[in-house]
Amino acid sequence: MTWRTISRNSTAIPELKGEKTLLKCTDPACGNVFEMPKNKYYKDLQEKAALGASASLLTCPKCGKDTAYRAVKCKKCGTVFLYNPRPGIYEDKCSNCGFSEMEEAAKKGSSTQQK
Ligand SMILES: [Zn+2]
Ligand SMILES: [Zn+2]
C-alpha cells in the first residue's frame, strides 16, 4: 500500500498568487501600461519562447502588437519605466528621480544578512 500526494507542480512556473507585474507597451504610439498576474506573465513568456518569439516581449492588449515589456512603477514619484537590468545599477532604479526600492533595502540590510 502506497500513499502518494498528487503533485501539480510539474511546471517551472512558480505559484505567485495575488502578485502582479507591471507591463508597458514600448510602441511610442501606444504607451499602454497594464498589470497582469505574475504567474500569467511567466506562462505567457514560456509560450512565446516555445514559439521562438522574443522571450521578453508580450502582446499589448491595447494595440495587439508584441511590444509589451516588463515595467516598474516608482514608489516615490509614480513614474512608470521599463524594467532594465544594467550592470551596477538596480533594475528598479527610477529613471526620473533615481529612487530604487532595492537599493534602499540593500542599504538597510547591509549590516544584517538578508537574502
Ligand atoms: Zn500597445
Ligand atoms: Zn521616481
29-87 pLDDT, tens digit per residue, is: 999 999 999 999 999 999 988 988 766 899 999 999 999 999 999 999 999 999 877 78
Whether residue 115 has pLDDT greater than 80? no
Q: Residue 85: its pLDDT value, please?
A: 77
Domain encompassing residue 26: 20-91
* DSSP-derived secondary structure for 54-100: -TT-B--TTT-SS-EEEEEE-TTT--EEE---BTTB-TT--TTT---
Is 108 a domain residue?
no
Is 71 a domain residue?
yes
Q: Residue 114: its pLDDT value, please?
A: 45
User: Alpha carbon 13 to chain centroid distance?
Assistant: 13
Rg of the chain on CA atoms, in Å = 18
Is 56 a domain residue?
yes
- Which residues have beta carbons under 5 A from ligand 2 (an ion)? 74, 76-77, 79, 94, 96-97, 99
pTM of the model: 0.71
Q: Residue 51: its pLDDT value, please?
A: 85
- Distance, first Cα to last Cα, the chain: 41
The number of the ligand nearest the C-alpha atom of 74 reads: 2
Q: What is the DSSP letter of 27?
A: -
- How many angstroms separate the alpha carbon of residue 12 from the centre of ligand 1? 28
Is 2 a domain residue?
no
Is 51 a domain residue?
yes
Whether residue 9 has pLDDT greater than 80? no
Question: Residue 100 is placed in which grid cell?
Answer: 530604487
Is 74 a domain residue?
yes
Q: Residue 89: its pLDDT value, please?
A: 87
Is 9 a domain residue?
no
Q: What is the DSSP letter of 52?
A: T
The number of the ligand nearest the C-alpha atom of 33 reads: 1
Is 6 a domain residue?
no
Cβ pair 49, 105 in contact under 8 A = no
Number of independent structural domains in the chain: 1
Q: Residue 58 burial (CB < 10 Å; 0-12/13-18/19+)?
A: buried
Q: Residue 83: its pLDDT value, please?
A: 87
Mean pLDDT for the stretch of residues 79-96: 88
